Structure 1
């Protein structure tokens, strides 16, 4: 078994012993195997990769076909071999221009920590190129990175003529969260589009269609969001029905009067949305959002909520339209602290978006389900022949557009499978930060093995064992202290073909995990074998 780690400007390859996932014992809060950093060292040799004068590995992209790990760092892009990360390193030096750095410094930013280029976005564009974006010293910029067609090409370069503006794609500030997905030749990004980080939007750019965004300065649409993930999921066999889903947390408008309360959300929009004809011009007309609930029911009828969404992982099933959605949540309370994994189905998500819209008559009224007549076509539906006769959102009636503008929020939340978390921990000296899941086939069925990153640099290996209809028992198999210096695990990714986990961390800090994973000063990465 093999693990890869990056610490500050270092990347480590490490072998591990696996634990069988076929056990059928009862749920346990203690791991069956607990391995320290020293234990992991003893099982196999460690190979290091060092990158001098850089840090902050903020974008990671696996390319199993080429056997490469592409990494976005501060002022650098890297191409590393998955077979041996200490060899075959290729790198591109991609700093911000001097005049941009000086302008950034004149604006009061630190010349060494703020006024540089943090690569935050990295996607496969086509068979020969990647698409990368960085903060560019508060001048977001993007580039097409040539990687060749085959692994033997050994091509890794940026064509200066193919560098373009990154506004609406990458954040200005490296501390700001963002999430994006590249589908076809279109980039869908949840990002702040202004220098001050106040104009947060979900933005479509590139491609042949018009650029389009969420409504500005309307807290009903987005209210100080922290974007976590973006994914595309087909709705039917007709590509005109394809949707993009954004996962984020934000200040809840429906909780006004109770202080500043954070709710987690899932937002949806149609890929073929062209905006309205007279209203919501170049704005989404199909954007809706719903609350994601991850809570534990109490004996007295009250619920303990885990409101802070931290990470999302889509486990693909045989039906591409219905992946399983694993999520990590933490509590927002300073009194009660805990972490939980909740599992959602697309059926439950679609049910919430087909439910009642949230409505508020005026400033002094409560939020209630909308009781009036919902216009046709129902807001949130994509223009296609599958569900209607409209060919474009520009043909939607004015009453549909106006209703969509004033009712982006659904009244019913999305609840997890089984009505409660799949796995949770309270009263422990760490919180969950990341998750990835592997489906393992066994003689008696399949099991989902969860790898959960924490804010102290450990990885929990948990197996979900079905014991009945929509009911599971979790077994905590392993607790692995991946780093010698404890730190926040910011990324945990699976490499199925090689049975590895890729882990990205921020070592040794007292800063909360959600903040630390954005600044990423002195970060590290690991690939951990799971077979």
Structure 2
């Protein structure tokens, strides 16, 4: 396996019950009739969470989802439900699934639902911000949701509400045959809309819209654009097989369509391929082509956000997911580069070498460069014709450092959702990834750039956030509340960003976690808050090396002067020394000290001594197996003793032999059973006061002399060099 495919396990895993016990998970089940929690809107100012479900909109408390929840019942009209069923749709689909929730202003939320395959939209009146929430949805003033909301409850969908216009990537018909990028006015009566061209696969080919964001390219508002992220069937694929490519597209906010051509169509629509691949030997690339989710990670400059995308592989060879990060500077550079061109159906896609009309296709009209071009209707026929036939860029957009920052291959799940949090740690800022999967887990990870500029993938936690295995449908983050809100078919879960207290009770355990949220404060592993005066806090996200951070007497005492556990084993039987570190990124080394003053030597494994994930199994114990066994954990070059076992061997004059199939050894079996029973009794008597091990062994021997033939009774004694603990 190449370096690119070396899988890292999550350092810690938390079950659903673990999360409930440490109070970092708070589920909201809704009501008996609610399901399909697939749209979430965070209102930081009011401290509310709007959740769209089937026939319901829930309004929940951001701090505690179960604190005084409110709901708005919004079913589809009865006649629409009946008509939906008559057309052959499933009864479970014929309802009003809330797919869109956007802030309209400080007092209203704009929302749309599928309406039993008849989309409908409306406004939730929240009331003034200074007053209690009023929550009014006037069902009599609803408006058609066509071109704004999907008909189908599960169709991939993306939208953005900007300046009272809704940009939506959705289907425009009941059958879902016409999927396009639309801009529709809301809140006023004008009916002018803009869309991508009908039935032109050069523009869109069976697209699935994933996300869209308004991003300012310059300080000139006329140049503001909407960036759209999608996947589609690729016409420009090099292979003859059907391929899926991911794209980033953009349009100008002030695009109003053409004058003579592309009327009510985008005249600034351009798109480019998004590459998320792993470089291989001899230039071979392994591609993750299918975009599943995107997240806009704002930096200090709102014109230079980082785009994080989750991709999956459509390969028949392997199943995998990857996260790639893209800079806006790289995306803009591709859109400012050459266009692609194909002269005929049998020709390859090549860089366009002809004359490019002025102004450059895709440029937003602005007084800044030409006072004669006030709107897109002023574009020349050459400009409109060119962009109609050349909407695609020749160069692709590659991720930062030309490779993914996170990869998971052949792990039994696929990553489908992402949110990212910016965290300030002691050694710098980190982007922490929270990744939702199709099996109901959330993975917490980050990419760490070392001093040699190489990036390391650090997988911190894997969290089972739902009681049952169910796909994560949506995720949103509240940076103010330090919480993530995760939606599935059956519930919404409020998830804390950190579980510092669960990492352990020692400085080294806290440091090895490499969690930028957490630091050792001298007493416990707790939340790290930047404060220059508090220098005692210890944290090393970049390297996770406790030797420098934690080499004090307190931590030394906890990990080196570990208390020995006394274990008794019966000769010829088996024993198990349990030692399983919590961290899955830890390797375990076993060593043994044969005598009290002897040197430690590494345990040699074989068919009789077996190293397992949970500890050391010693089969058919021998007298010389006695000794002190050390279980050492090695993680990030840091080694410490987890447990010591003082194994004492109880000798027996009876040697057990393996049973042979079909051979009757009743007498020997009886003898072995008596030995096992006496050993069980022996373990119980060890805790009783007033009897020593030697006394008990003598008692067993005397009982054997009285009631059994001395040749078959067990005579036990303890090896002399280990009589004293």
- Residue number in structure 1 paired with 2:63: 83
Deviations 1:398-434 (A, max 9, x none): 0000001001111111000000001111121111111
1:71 paired with 2:51, answer yes
Deviations 1:204-230 (A, max 9, x none): 011578311000001011100111101
- Separation (CA, whole Å) in 1 of partners of 2:315 and 2:22: 40
1:219 paired with 2:186, answer no
- Separation (CA, whole Å) in 2 of partners of 1:488 and 1:211: 35
- Separation (CA, whole Å) in 2 of partners of 1:187 and 1:73: 21
**Where does 1:12-411 land on structure 2 (aligned, <5 Å)?**
29-44=8-23, 48-110=28-90, 112-150=91-129, 152-206=131-185, 210-255=192-237, 258-389=240-371, 390-411=373-394
1:46 shift after superposition: 5.1
Work out whether residues 440 and 446 of structure 1, in 8 Å CA contact, stay in contact via their aligned partners in 2: yes
- Separation (CA, whole Å) in 2 of partners of 1:50 and 1:113: 18
Q: If each structure's helix is expressed as a fraction of its own residues, which one has the higher value?
A: 2
- Separation (CA, whole Å) in 2 of partners of 1:470 and 1:188: 40
- Residue number in structure 2 paired with 1:525: 492
Q: If each structure's strand is expressed as a fraction of its own residues, which one has the higher value?
A: 1
Structure of greater relative contact order (alpha carbons < 8 Å, 6+ residues apart): 1
- Cα pair distance change 1:46/1:252, threshold 3 Å: closer
SS in 1 for 2:222: helix
Structure 1 gaps of 5+ residues are 1-26, 506-521
Work out whether residues 324 and 345 of structure 1, in 8 Å CA contact, stay in contact via their aligned partners in 2: yes
Larger radius of gyration: 2
1:442 shift after superposition: 2.3
- Separation (CA, whole Å) in 1 of partners of 2:496 and 2:195: 41
1:84 shift after superposition: 2.3
Work out whether residues 98 and 111 of structure 2, in 8 Å CA contact, stay in contact via their aligned partners in 1: yes
1:458 shift after superposition: 1.2
Q: When the two structures are superposed, what TM-score results if normalisation uses the length of structure 1?
A: 0.89
1:86 shift after superposition: 1.7
1:161 shift after superposition: 4.1
- Separation (CA, whole Å) in 1 of partners of 2:484 and 2:49: 12
1:395 shift after superposition: 0.4
- Separation (CA, whole Å) in 2 of partners of 1:471 and 1:526: 36
- Separation (CA, whole Å) in 1 of partners of 2:87 and 2:167: 29
- Residue number in structure 1 paired with 2:675: none
- Residue number in structure 2 paired with 1:463: 446
- Cα pair distance change 1:412/1:213, threshold 3 Å: same
Q: Which moved more, 1:464-473 or 1:377-386?
A: 464-473
Deviations 1:285-307 (A, max 9, x none): 00001100000011121100000
- Separation (CA, whole Å) in 2 of partners of 1:411 and 1:107: 43
Query: How many residues in Structure 1 have an aligned counterpart in Structure 2?
Result: 488
1:257 shift after superposition: 5.7
**Where does 1:496-511 land on structure 2 (aligned, <5 Å)?**
496-505=479-488
Work out whether residues 28 and 493 of structure 2, in 8 Å CA contact, stay in contact via their aligned partners in 1: no
- Cα pair distance change 1:345/1:388, threshold 3 Å: farther
Q: 2:461 aligns with which of 449, 471, 478?
A: 478
- Separation (CA, whole Å) in 2 of partners of 1:181 and 1:82: 23
Work out whether residues 458 and 481 of structure 1, in 8 Å CA contact, stay in contact via their aligned partners in 2: yes
- Residue number in structure 2 paired with 1:488: 471
